[in-house]
Structure 1
């Protein structure tokens, strides 16, 4: 899943080397923390959050087979 997020985000940004995904796993949830360069935040979020919503939709669909709830957080 981490590789999927990186594969989606890196072509969108100007600084792909700054894209990092951290995984936090609990009993019943997995949280992926996506961090990008400060100047790339607008590109990852998109107008009215459309790009971020699309990324989350793909990630949630890919993880739907798991028993745990999946969350994607975007930060600088």
Structure 2
């Protein structure tokens, strides 16, 4: 899933070397934290959060085969 998130975000940013995806898992959920360069945050979030919502939709759909709830935080 980390590779999927990086693959989606990489073309959107100017500083792809600053993409960091971390995973935090417990018994009921998996939470991914996406961190990008401060100049790229707006590009990843998009106007009115549309790009962030689209990224989350893809990630949630890809995680639907997992029995745990999947979350994506963008920082």
CA distance in structure 1 between the aligned counterparts of 2:63 and 2:74, rounded to whole angstroms: 17
Tell me what 1:58 maps to. 58
CA distance in structure 1 between the aligned counterparts of 2:22 and 2:65, rounded to whole angstroms: 21
Structure 2 residues not aligned, in runs of 5+: none
Aligned residues: 75
TM-score norm. by structure 2 comes to 0.99
Per-residue deviation, residues 6-55 of structure 1 (Å, max 9, x unmatched): 00001100000000000000101000000000000010000000000000
SS in 1 for 2:64: coil
Tell me what 1:40 maps to. 40
CA distance in structure 2 between the aligned counterparts of 1:73 and 1:42, rounded to whole angstroms: 14
Runs of 4 or more, structure 1, over 6 Å off, are: none
SS in 2 for 1:38: coil
The two structures, once aligned, show a CA RMSD in angstroms of 0.3
Structure 1 residues not aligned, in runs of 5+: none
Map 1:1-76; keep pairs closer than 5 Å: 1-75=1-75
